[in-house]
Structure 1
Amino acid sequence: MKQVTMWAGLAALLSVAITPANAQEKIKIGVLVTTSGPAAALGQQVRDGFALAIKDLGGKMAGRDVEVVNADDELKPDGAVVKVRGLLERDKVDFVVGPIFSNILLAIHRPVTDSKTFLISPNAGPSSYAGKECNPFFYVTSYQNDQVHEILGKVAQDRGYKRVYLLVPNYQAGRDSVAGFKLDYKGEVVEESYTPLNTLDFQPELSKIASLKPDALFTFMPGGMGVNLVKQYKQAGATVPVLSAFTVDESTLPAQQDAAVGMFGGANWAPNLDNPQNKKFVAAYEAAFGGVPGTYAMQAYDTALLIDSAVRAVKGDLANKDAVAAALKKAEFTSLRGQFKFNNNGYPIQDFYLTKVAKRPDGKFQTEVVEKVFSNYGDRYAKDCAAK
């Protein structure tokens, strides 16, 4: 009997001793983005930007090793749900980072947040989760989808473009882009063209633009769609000013090159943004990956810094979800874009810029800041979020 009691006591002591060791298990972060098909460059920028941040953090957060588990959503909502369930149930990740596209986010949002796992989007920011459906397990390090397009609507209005043609893909982010553009633009929309997602032939739309002769073209065509649109636009000899979001950026410029020079964009950042942390990031990214980083990479880098700030705030103990949520909401890190804080809905309050494509002296292409359009700007849906 005494021997049994002794072993029971020893087991109890061992269980106490094991607890701190368990607390030092790896922090696991799942990164779910599109890394195949025409939009692969976008997801690769997220992976690279996130990986660079983890490297710069020494591979640790609050003294705990970090393991990143990458998955490709293949731009298929049903497949993305299967992939994210694998991250949650097999890999038991503490955070999910992703995705690129809003239709994928709409598919994975509930499985992740219902599991009380933190989902942080480094790109997609649909209106659907910015208002009444805001969630303490969901954060966005990019913007609410409308906002980047609001920049271009305001620019079109301020520059006196009286007739504008709108060309976007037919999915949530495309519809959000049109809504955003129209917030400040009060002129005539001569046509709204909604193409199937991953359209690569724009000859019908370019023929319409030629016949309607608008003052400007507003378009949102990310990834391979943007590459083809810009090339076909130049081949058609079109001269209508182009105001775009994500159509010409650092993920597409290596393929578009001179055809994109002079085209305008809207963004919350550009590689030439003048602050010390951004200069260091751009130099390190180019050295590591050979290309110029875009907003996808920047926002992914910031996402890693955001997670690190929360992990440090709770001293590595992720068991108290309320404490982790509160720490994420504080966003106590130095963003590459400079000014950054979260609104009550978990979407950022930040500055927005008009950008323009330029060719650098070294032959590389990048977007550059032309002017600041909005300062310290939050989205219009936050008022409907019950969180304070």
Structure 2
Amino acid sequence: MNANQTRSTNFLCGMAAFLLCAPLLAQPLTVKVGVVLPFSGPGGDTVEREEQAMRLYMKLHGKELGGIRIELIKRDSKEPSGATTRELVRELIFRDNVDILLAGQFSPDAIAAAPVVTQAKKLLILVNAQASFITHLSPYIVRVSAASWQIAYPMGRYAIEKLGCKKTVVGFIDYAPGRDVLAAFKSGYEKAGGTLADAIPMGGPTAVPDFTPYLRRIRDQSPDCMYVFTPGGPFTLALARTYHELRMAETGVKFLGTGDATQDSILAQYGAQALGWMSGGQYTADLDTPENKKFLAAWQAEYGRDSIPDYFTVHGYDAMAAAFHVIKTLNGKIDADKAVAALKGWKHNSPRGPIWIDPATRDVVQNIYVQKVVKKNGRYGIEVLDTILAVKDPCKELAIGQCAAAAGKTK
């Protein structure tokens, strides 16, 4: 074989090797994101909207990843006991090798997942779970949703300082989140110089109660204000119906609640029954900001003009935004310690307003909006009465109860 033939043969071999290897070289880097939520459990429609929000964020911002691909791996935790979530998180980590987890619709789910992600050193971004002490349970948990104290504590103070609620009765669904809300509101109310007139357990979370005896008990005490917590959905629909039937609005008692009471996606189902209700919450679809208007337009273009996002929706949207921030910062090579470091101090212009992650607690810092149910332009919606700016989690700020115990402090 002469020199020219040798060069030709080498060239052809090189080209063959290149063509064989080119598909492998062109393979995009893939980041696996595990999503563990109760898709078929209580509030499955809410979880569906959270997933839709995640996918919308991916669609709108995918080009920002520079060719890095996200593979969503969904698992259905079904019920909020925590046991199923723990096993699914373990499966996603050790079998599917996910890089990031988006999970924790309910607090028991997040609590059960905490030791697993700690052992495996995997980032877990909380989609919703709101028990304040959860972020103390693992250094790999970051919350972008809200903590129960973050909403109820400032509203306790606001009730006295701005609304003149000198006599207030609290009604709550009697389980861990409800008792957490009670403790938070009571603490804020007492900090402002008040003393609750009564605190009324209104049944448990497994079945919607008949609210009649509880609302009558509140009415009979003639308070200035009532502050109510229920899990939302069918609970608040039943509450609104009974509130209307008992003509509670005619008594002059101001209705206050958490954002669950004024959830945008179910306002139309209330009709006039909840007109005048006030709440403290982290988001409303009626928020008048450029970022929210842009988000609302994108949401309705994707899912229909009659689809109304709510605070759960924005939790899902911002959870994916946090995941994107980690992926971009680490160029798709996910290390849990570096991922948490990337999120500490992260600032994001969310549809709910500016949010950031407190480096000391790994909890979201955000505005809390004082909201009122109104009818405008022929539909039921929300009027924002006031804004409490940049609220941190008071439970950790004050080192109260479980927050103190979880942090190894005493109070």
Interval containing the TM-score (normalised by the shorter chain) = 0.7 to 0.9
Equivalent in 286, 293, 299 of residue 272 of structure 1: 286
Query: In the alignment, is the contact (CA less than 8 A) between 1:151 and 1:353 conserved in 2?
Result: no
How far apart, in 2, do the equivalents of 1:112 and 1:44 lie? 24
Counterpart of 2:50 in structure 1 is: 46
What is the Cα deviation at residue 360 of structure 1? 4.0
- Indicate which of 200, 203, 208 corresponds to 2:208: 200
Aligned partner of 2:9 in structure 1 is none
Per-residue deviation, 1:293: 0.9
Is residue 64 of structure 2 the alignment partner of residue 72 of structure 1? no
Please name the residue that 1:136 is paired with: 139
Larger radius of gyration: 2
Structure 1's 325 and 38: CA in aligned 2 closer, same or farther, altered over 3 A?
closer
Identity %: 25
The alignment of Structure 1 onto Structure 2 pairs a total of residues equal to: 368
State the partner residue of 2:341. Answer: 326
Give secondary structure in 2 for the equivalent of 1:153.
Answer: helix
Structure 2 residue 112 is the aligned partner of structure 1 residue 98 = no
Deviations 1:167-216 (A, max 9, x none): 22222221211121112212333233152113312233223223333322
Superposed CA RMSD in Å reads 2.9
The residue aligned with 2:300 is 286
- Secondary structure of the 1:284 match is helix
How far, CA to CA, are the matches of 1:231 and 1:59 in structure 2? 47
Contact 1:41–1:251 (CA<8 Å) still a contact in 2? Answer: no
Q: Which range moves more in the overlay, 273-282 or 84-93?
A: 84-93
Gaps of 5+ in 2: 1-16
When residues 53 and 366 of structure 1 are mapped into structure 2, their CA distance, relative to the original with a 3 A threshold, is: farther
From 105, 119, 136, the counterpart of 1:114: 119
> Which is worse superposed, 253-262 or 274-283?
253-262
8 Å CA contact 1:200–1:229 kept in 2: the answer is no
* Selected match of 2:129 from 121, 124, 128: 124
Which residue does 1:7 correspond to in 2?
none
* Residue matched to 1:241: 254
Tell me how far 1:62 sits from its aligned partner. 4.3
Instruction: Measure how far apart 1:113 and its partner are.
Output: 3.3
Q: List alignment gaps of at least 5 residues for structure 1.
A: 1-12
Q: Does 1:252 align with 2:252?
A: no
* CA deviation profile, 1:201-232 (whole Å, cap 9, x unmatched): 22332232233333222111122212221122
Q: 2:385 aligns with which of 370, 381, 384?
A: 370
Conserved 8 A contact 2:369-2:385: yes
TM-score for both structures, normalised by structure 2: 0.81
8 Å contact kept, 2:264–2:284? no
User: Deviating runs (4+, > 4 A) in structure 1?
Assistant: 20-23, 382-386
Offset of residue 43 of structure 1:
1.7
Amino acid at match of 1:242: F
Cα deviation code 1:226-258 (max 9, x no counterpart): 222112221222223211111221243243232
Once residues 177 and 298 of structure 1 are traced to their aligned partners in structure 2, the CA distance between those partners, rounded to angstroms, is 21
1:352 aligns with 2:352: no
**One-letter amino acid of the structure 2 residue matched with residue 155 of structure 1:** Y
Q: Which moved more, 1:194-203 or 1:178-187?
A: 194-203
